[in-house]
Amino acid sequence: MPIVPPYSTGGGGTVLEHRYGAVLLAHLLCGDPVAELGDDVAPVQMIFQASAFSPVDDLVVSGRSADGNERRVSIGVRRDPGLVPSEEASVRLVSSYLQVVSEYWPEVAAGRWRLALAVASPNAAVQQVAALAGIAQAEPDESLFRAAVARSGRTTGKARERLKHLDAVVNAAAVRAGVDTSSVSSSELTWRLLSALRLRELRLEGVDEADRTTAVARLRSVTRDGAPAAADALFSRLAELAGRYAPAAATRTEVSLRRDLVGTPLGRSPARAQAWTILDRLAMRLRDRTGSRLSNESGDLELDRVEARAALVAALTGAAVAEGTLVVLGEPDVGKSALTLRATEELQAAGGAVATLSLRDLPATTVEPGFFYDREPLEWRP
C-alpha cells in the first residue's frame, strides 16, 4: 500500500517539524555529526518530504562513513504518537517503517539505512519504546531479544506492556503495508524495527528549548563574528527555510544551503578548512610580491586612486552574481595587481568572501606534487 505524504493530508508542516529541520540544517551547515545518523558520519545531504526516496519521508539525512559507504537515516516527526493499535495514525506511521524494514532489510541490517522517530518531549510511550530499542540493538535476533525483555531487572513492567501494544501495532501495520508475514513473522518484524530505530524527544517548544539553544551555540562557529545574537538570527533563518523546503520536497547540501543564505553574514565552511589554509597562504604570497608603494628615507607613497578602485569594486561585485569572467586589462607596470588587491581587501572588509592568488603559484598540472611556501609544504588536491 502506498504511503500518503503528510503534506497532502495536513499532517505535516508543523512548527515542531520545521524547528527540527532547522536543527538538522545547522548540523549540515557546520559539518557536525547527527546522533540519528551516527557520531562517525558528518551529514552531506538532507531531503525534506522525501517520499520519492523513502517510505519514512519527513526528513532523510545522509552522509558517508569512513569506509566510503553511504549511510542514511529516514526520520518521522510526530508530536505525540500513542503507539497503540487503536490509534490509526500510529498504525500508518509504523507501516511506513515496516516498508523499509521488509523491503530493504539487508541495508538496514548492515547499518547503512537507519530509522528514527522524533517527537515532542516528554512522551512516556516513546521513552518505553526507546528502552525496548536499546535491548533489541544489543541482541542478535528476535528470540534473544524477547528473552532479555522477559528477564527480571532488564527493563520495567511498563516497557514489557508497551511491547505487547507494539506487537499489535506492527501486526496491524504489516497488513496495511502489504508486508508478507508468511516468511517473516510480525513478531520478527517488531524486533527488526526496534533494532533499527532511534528515538529522539525534541526540546524545541515551550519552556524547554534546550535543543534550540544547543543548535544556536553550534551555529556560532559559522557566523562571521561568532556572536550569540548572529547565531540566534541564523537559526531563525534556518527555521524559515525549513518551512519552505518541506512543501517543496527540497534537497539541500551545504553548498546549496549557503546559496540560500546569501545576505546572511556567514564565516568560512569548517568542512573546507584545509582548502582555506592553502588559499590564505597563496593570497599572502601574492600580497608579499605585489608592490603598491614607493618608499624612500622620507616614508611611503601610495596613490589613492579612489575612483578607479570604486569602479573595480562595482565590477567585481557584478561579476560575483552573474555568469562570466571579469578581466582587468592595462599596460605593464601601471598597478593593475595592486589596484585589484586593494579592491578585494575592500570587499573582504565589507563581508565578502574573496580568495586571491596568482596563477604563477599553481602547479602546471593537477598531478604535480605539493608545492612550498616559506619551506612549509602545501598539499595540492585537484
DSSP E strand boundaries for the chain: 43-48, 59-64, 70-78, 113-120, 197-202, 251-252, 294-296, 299-301, 371-373, 376-378
Q: Write out the H or E segment, with its range, that includes residue 170.
A: helix 157-177
Instruction: Report yes or no on 18 lying in a domain.
Output: yes
Burial letters 27-41, b for 16+ CB under 10 A, else e: bbbbbeebebbbeeb
Strand-pairing partners, residue 266, are 223
Q: Are 29 and 268 in contact (CB under 8 A)?
A: no
Instruction: Report yes or no on 265 lying in a domain.
Output: no
Distance CA 170, CA 163 (A): 10
Instruction: Report yes or no on 213 lying in a domain.
Output: yes
Instruction: Write down which residue in 237, 260, 283 finishes a domain.
Output: 260
Distance CA 197, CA 117 (A): 7
Same domain? For 135 and 24 the reply is yes
Instruction: Write down which residue in 234, 260, 286 finishes a domain.
Output: 260
Same domain? For 297 and 240 the reply is no
Instruction: Write down which residue in 205, 231, 260 finishes a domain.
Output: 260
What total of structural domains would you count in the chain?
Answer: 2
- Residue 28 CB partners (closer than 8 Å, separation 6+): 43, 44, 45, 46, 61, 252, 253, 254, 257
Same domain? For 20 and 162 the reply is yes
Same domain? For 45 and 173 the reply is yes
Same domain? For 29 and 114 the reply is yes
Q: Write out the H or E segment, with its range, that includes residue 19.
A: helix 15-30
Same domain? For 235 and 215 the reply is yes
Same domain? For 125 and 194 the reply is yes
Same domain? For 92 and 231 the reply is yes
Fill in the DSSP letter of residue 116.
E
Please list the pLDDT of the chain residue by residue as tens digits (382 residues): 444 444 444 343 368 999 999 999 999 999 999 999 999 999 999 999 999 889 998 999 999 998 889 999 999 999 999 999 999 999 999 999 999 999 999 999 999 999 999 999 899 999 999 999 999 999 999 999 999 999 999 999 999 999 999 999 999 999 999 998 888 999 999 999 999 999 999 999 888 999 999 999 999 999 988 899 999 999 999 999 999 999 999 999 999 999 999 888 888 766 666 666 676 677 777 777 776 554 556 655 455 677 877 888 888 877 776 777 888 787 776 777 788 888 787 777 766 667 787 777 777 665 555 544 443 443 433 3
Distance CA 21, CA 155 (A): 32
Nearest to 36 by CA among 4, 76, 7, 82: 76
Strand-pairing partners, residue 305, are none
Per-residue pLDDT tens over the stretch 89-125: 999 999 999 999 999 999 999 999 999 999 998 999 9
Q: Average per-residue pLDDT in the chain?
A: 85
Query: What local confidence, expressed as pLDDT, does residue 274 receive?
Result: 66
Same domain? For 297 and 175 the reply is no
Boundaries of domain holding 150: 6-260
Query: What local confidence, expressed as pLDDT, does residue 72 receive?
Result: 96
Distance CA 50, CA 28 (A): 17
